Amino acid sequence: MQISPSVLNADLSGLADEVRRVEAAADWIHLDVMDNHFVPNLTFGLPVVESLLRQITIPADCHLMIDDPDRWAPGFAEAGAGSVTFHVEAARKPRMVARDIRAAGARAGVAIKPGTPFSEVADLMPLVDMILVMTVEPGFGGQSFMAEMLPKVREARRLADASDVDVWIQVDGGVGPDTIEQCAAAGADVFVAGSAVYRSPDPAMMVEQLRASAENAARP
């Protein structure tokens, strides 16, 4: 059970300091890259991620909500991100993107928006290290969790277990103390939490609390 806090709703003027608040407790730091094309919002790109990576020790989990990941995704891996996730809806050649990310030394993840069925990525399962099932429409933090996405998480978990591939299943969007247990019970094992962590008075403690809840819920 791994927790990947998203800095989307943190103080972006002091990104490295915000990461340091959770660095000891979290497994990853989730960096939401948005281009105002694939999603209607704009955050930061490769130069900011590169600079940040020089300042932090926790591995970066880059979530690319951008068009043309075929062109851009490998650069994030080359910059030293531990994991790079692209959206299948945006990729021209998803297999090639996954291969290029891995070749550049990162774990490769593939994400699906709420409207995209799991079947769109089922074939990619042996080629990626993580499937990200979005539990909100990508673009903004602080939205409500979409429980109707849980069947996709179960489907991903079933297929991963049946095919014996070691693929992580991540959920992102509206994940917090009230929703993390259903995600873990459905089979997710990497949890992105933005506002739940950064709006908490003690972000590091919230990370620990979320991990404990996930572990409890996943126990058979």
Q: Which residues participate in catalysis according to the annotation?
A: 32, 172
- How many residues does this entry show for the chain? 220
Residues 52-81 touching ligand DX5, rule: CB under 6 A, are 63
Q: How far is the CB of 6 from ligand DX5 (least distance, A)?
A: 4
Helix (H) or strand (E) holding 214: helix 203-218
Side-chain half-sphere exposure of 206, counting CA atoms within 13 A: 23
Which range touches Zn ion (CB under 5 A), out of 27-35, 87-95, 152-160, 163-171? 27-35
Q: Which of 173, 203, 206, 210 binds ligand DX5 (CB under 6 A)?
A: 173
Residues 50 to 89: which contact Zn ion by CB under 5 A?
63
The reply on whether position 113 binds ligand DX5 by CB under 6 A is: no
**CA 194 to each of CA 19, 73, 141, 162, 191: distance values in angstroms, whole numbers, following the listed order:** 12, 22, 7, 31, 10
Which residues have CB under 8 Å from 188's CB, separation 6+?
A: 133, 153, 157, 169, 170, 171, 214
Burial (CB < 10 A; 0-12, 13-18, 19+), residue 154, is middle
- By CB under 6 A, residue 109 contacts ligand DX5: no
Distance in angstroms (rounded) separating the CA atoms of residues 177 and 172: 13
The residue type at 194: G
With contacts defined by CB under 5 A, name the span among 16-24, 77-85, 112-120, 172-180 that binds Zn ion: 172-180
203 contacts ligand DX5 (rule: CB under 6 A): no
Q: Shortest distance, CB of residue 103 to ligand DX5, whole angstroms?
A: 25
Site stretch for ligand DX5 (CB under 6 A), options 50-58, 159-167, 169-177, 182-190:
169-177
For position 107 contacting ligand DX5 by CB under 6 A, the verdict is no
Q: Which residues bind ligand DX5 (CB under 6 A)?
A: 6, 8-9, 30, 32, 63, 136, 138-143, 172-175, 192-196
